[in-house]
Structure 1
C-alpha cells in the first residue's frame, strides 16, 4: 500500500470516481463520467492524495489552499474536501493515514489553519477539529415583504447574471474576508466555477457606487421558491434593499429561502413576518463545519484581550508543548520553550480541539472542560476568557 499525490488527468481515474461514488447518485452514466474532465481546472491547485494497492485506488483526500479570517487577521487555510474510500476498503485506517500526511504537507507549506465539512464530526474531533456554527436558512412568504415596497431606501440595486457580475461578487467577498471572523474564500481557480456555470442571478446593493450587500439566487419555477445563497451585507440599508427586491417577486414566487449567518435575526426584520429559521444537523450530509489550528503561529499577533495564561498542549500530532499566551499589550504574544515556563501564570492543559475552540470563539473555557477537550482550572478559565472572548465565526465558504 502506498500514498502518493495525483495531478491533472490522473484524477479522472483515481480520486474522481471514488468521490462520485461517495457524494453523488450512483452508478453514474457514461455521459456523466464525461463531465469529470470539465471539472479538472477547478481542482488544478488542490493537493490530492490517494492510497493505492496493486494499482487500485482505495482512498482519496484533497486540501484546497484557501484563506480565512481568524479574529480579524487573514491567514492561509487548508480546506479539506473530497474525502472518500472504496466501498471494499472502508474502516481499514486509510483515511486516518491520508489525513495525517495531507495535514503534515499543508502545515509544512505554511497553512496554520484547516477547516472542513465532516461526514462524521466525532471522527474529525479525534483529529483536533472543533465544530463551528452552521449558517441558518430563513424561509418566508414573499407576500410578507409587501411593506418594503413602499420604503424609500438610499442607494440602488443592480441585477445581473453571475457570469457577468462575477468580478463584482469576488471583490465584495474579498472585503468580507478582511472584515468578518471565520469567513473563508476559495482560491480563484476554484471560485470561478460559479462564473463559468452561470446558474445564478447576482443581486447587489450599492451606495455611492460602493457595493454594500450581495446575494446570489435561483428560481425553481413560476409559483415556486426563490432560493438565495448567503445574504452578505455591511449595513441594514443593504439588507433591506435586497429584501425589497425579493418583495417585487410576489406575483412570481410563493416562498423565499435565504441562507443567513448565525448572528442575523430575521424575526426582527419586519413586523408580522412569518418566518421559519432552521439549522438542521444530520449525518452524513448536513453536519456543521469544523476547523482547527495546525500551528500555534496562527495565534501570534492576533488582537486579543488582556489575559495571560500558560497552555500545555497534549494528544496531538501538530500542536504540542508548553506555550505562554500573553495578551497584556492587546496583541497576542506566543512564547515557547524555556521562556514559557520561566513565569508562573495560571496553567491550562488543552487538546488541539480545545485550543481551536477558544481561538475560534465557539466554546467558553468551562465548556472546553465539560466537553473533555482539556483541563481548565478556574483561574486559567478567567485568563482564557479575557484572551479569547466569545465570537461567532461565519464560515462562508461552502466546500
Structure 2
C-alpha cells in the first residue's frame, strides 16, 4: 500500500472520479466530467492524498486549509473533505491509513484544529472528533413578515448579484470569523468559487456605516420558494432589515427558507410568525459537523474561568500525556506543577469541552473520559458551555 500526495492535475483522473461516485449522481454525465476541469482551480491549495495498491487508486481524502474561531482565537484549521473509497476497496482500512497520514501532515504544518462532515459519526469519534450543532432550517410565509414593513429601521439594505458584491460579503464573513465561536471560512482560492459561479443574489444590511448582516439566496420559481443560505447577522437591526427585505416578496413566493445557527430563535422574531424550525440529521445524506483538537497548544491563552485540573489524555495519536490546565488568570495556561483534581480524557472528550458542546458529566456518560465530581466542577469553570457555529459546508 502506497500513500502519496497528488499533484493538481492528477485530481482529474484519481480523486475527482472517486469523490463523484461517492457523493453525486452516478454515473456522471459527460458535462459533469468536463466540469471537473472548471472545479480544479478551487482545489489548488488543498492537500489531497490517495492510497494506491497494484497501481490502482483505492481511496482518497483531502484537507482544506481553513481558519476557525475557537473561543475567540482564530486558528488554522484542517477541513477534512472528499473522503472516498473505490467500491471494491471499502472496509479494508484504507481510509484509516489515509486519515492518520493526512492529519499528521496538517498538524505538522501548523493546523491545531480540524473539522469535517462525517459519513458516519461513530467512525470519526474514534479519530477524536466530537459532534457540533447542525444549522437549523427555518421555513415561513413572507406574509407573516408584514409587520416589519410598517417599521422604520435604522440602516440600509443593498441588493445585488453575489458576483458583484462578493468582496463585501467576504469582508463580513471575516468579521464573523473574528467574533463568533466555531465560525470557519474557506481560504481565498476556494471561496472565490461563490463569486465565479454567480448563482446567488446577495443582500447586505448596513447600520451606522458597517455591514452587520448578509444573506445569499435564490428563488426557485414564481409562486415557489425563496431559498436562503446562512442568515448572518451581528445585530438585531441588521436581522430586521434583512427580514423586511424578504417581506417584500409576499406576492412573488409562497414560502421562504433560511439556514440559521442553533442559538437563533426564529419563533421570537415576530408575534404571529408561523415558522417551522428543523435540524435534520440523517446518515449518510444530512450529517451534523464534527471537530477536534490536533494539538493541546490550541488551548493556550483561551478565555477561561478560575478552574484548575490535571488531565491525562489517552488513546489518541495526536493528543497525549499529562497536562495541568489553569484558568486563574482569566486565560487558560498549560503548566506542570501544583495540586489539582485529576481527570482522564480521550481526544474527543477534550474536544467536546474545548468546543463547549458537552458538560463534563456528559463526557463521562458518553465514554469519552473519567470525570469525578470535583474535576467536573473545575472543568465547567475552565470550559463554560458554548454553541459553536461552523458556517462553512465542505
TM-score, with normalisation over the residues of structure 2? 0.99
Check conservation: 2:311, 2:344, Cα contact below 8 A: yes
Counterpart Cα distance in 2 of 1:186 and 1:319: 25
Partner of 1:78: 78
Shift of 1:147: 1.1
Is residue 396 from structure 1 mapped to residue 371 from structure 2 by the alignment? no
Shift of 1:172: 0.3
Shift of 1:18: 0.1
- 1:75 is paired with a residue whose SS is strand
Q: Report Cα offsets for 1:132-165 as digits up to 9, x if no partner.
A: 0011000001111111111111110000000000
Shift of 1:349: 0.1
Partner of 2:245: 245
Counterpart Cα distance in 1 of 2:301 and 2:146: 48
Shift of 1:285: 1.2
After TM superposition, list the pairs within 5 Å mapping 1:325-344 onto structure 2: 325-335=325-335, 340=336, 342-344=337-339
Q: Report Cα offsets for 1:196-246 as digits up to 9, x if no partner.
A: 000000000002321010000000000000010111111110001000000
In angstroms, what is the RMSD of aligned CA positions?
Answer: 0.6
Shift of 1:177: 0.2
Partner of 2:313: 313
Counterpart Cα distance in 2 of 1:169 and 1:132: 25
Counterpart Cα distance in 1 of 2:317 and 2:68: 22
Counterpart Cα distance in 2 of 1:226 and 1:171: 24
Partner of 1:345: 340
Q: Report Cα offsets for 1:371-392 as digits up to 9, x if no partner.
A: 0000001110010000000010
Shift of 1:32: 1.4
Partner of 1:378: 373
Partner of 2:98: 98
TM-score, with normalisation over the residues of structure 1? 0.98
Partner of 2:144: 144
Q: Report Cα offsets for 1:99-147 as digits up to 9, x if no partner.
A: 0000000000010000000010000000000000011000001111111
Partner of 2:353: 358
Shift of 1:334: 0.9
Counterpart Cα distance in 1 of 2:144 and 2:74: 39
Counterpart Cα distance in 2 of 1:207 and 1:133: 29
Q: Report Cα offsets for 1:338-363 as digits up to 9, x if no partner.
A: xx2x4220000000000000000000
Counterpart Cα distance in 1 of 2:353 and 2:327: 14
Shift of 1:303: 1.0
Partner of 2:110: 110
- 2:218 is paired with a residue whose SS is strand
Partner of 2:294: 294
Counterpart Cα distance in 1 of 2:54 and 2:184: 38
- 2:262 is paired with a residue whose SS is coil
Partner of 1:153: 153
Partner of 1:22: 22
Gap runs ≥5 in structure 2:
none
Counterpart Cα distance in 2 of 1:379 and 1:32: 57
- 1:250 is paired with a residue whose SS is coil
Counterpart Cα distance in 1 of 2:29 and 2:70: 42
Partner of 2:193: 193
Counterpart Cα distance in 2 of 1:97 and 1:348: 30
After TM superposition, list the pairs within 5 Å mapping 1:195-210 onto structure 2: 195-210=195-210
Structure 1 stretches of at least 4 aligned residues deviating more than 4 Å after TM superposition: none
Check conservation: 2:207, 2:237, Cα contact below 8 A: no
Give the length in aligned residue pairs: 394
Partner of 2:228: 228
